[in-house]
Amino acid sequence: MHHYFIAVETFEHIIECFCPDGAHEDSLEIKKEDIIEVTNDRQYMFDNGWYIKVVLNNDWHFHMALEDLERYFTQGMIISLVDIELKINHLNYVIDQSLGKGDEAAFLQSTKSLKESKQLKLNLESYLSHVSENLFMS
């Protein structure tokens, strides 16, 4: 089963090379709202640990260290659909609380975050719908 994430912010990912000389690497900019598909294709590199094949925006295929993927997730740089839905529920609660307290600053910040979260959710759901249609048609 593949897992899907969406980038919450733009960040650089270093793509490591495992050539015999091992002297070079490449940098990839992952932009806000890019979709990251984590596949089941995994490899263990003796000196480097686990690497997982990921697909960026259904176009760019590369292996990412499990350690990097975990770091991006725990630091909130990428998020899953379930986590977006939880965040939306929490933000709705915070908005209700700020309205009850008359806290305009918290209200404005929360509504801005809610709007961004709903946009991320819409983009990820649209991508997933497109992927499932393509799988169904093939």
Model confidence band, residue 138 (pLDDT cutoffs 50, 70, 90) = low
Give CA–CA dist 113/29, Å, rounded.
23
The amino acid occupying position 100 is G
Model confidence band, residue 25 (pLDDT cutoffs 50, 70, 90) = confident
With CA atoms as reference, report the closest residue to 36 among 15, 53, 14: 53
- Span 122-132, pLDDT tens digits: 999 999 998 87
Give the architecture-level CATH label for domain 3-79.
Roll (2.30)
Q: How many CB atoms lie within 10 A of CB 85?
A: 12
User: Which residues, including other chains, have CB under 8 Å from residue 128's CB and lie 6 or more apart?
Assistant: 4, 81
CATH 2.30.30.40 maps onto the chain at 3-79
Residue 15 pLDDT greater than 80, yes or no: yes
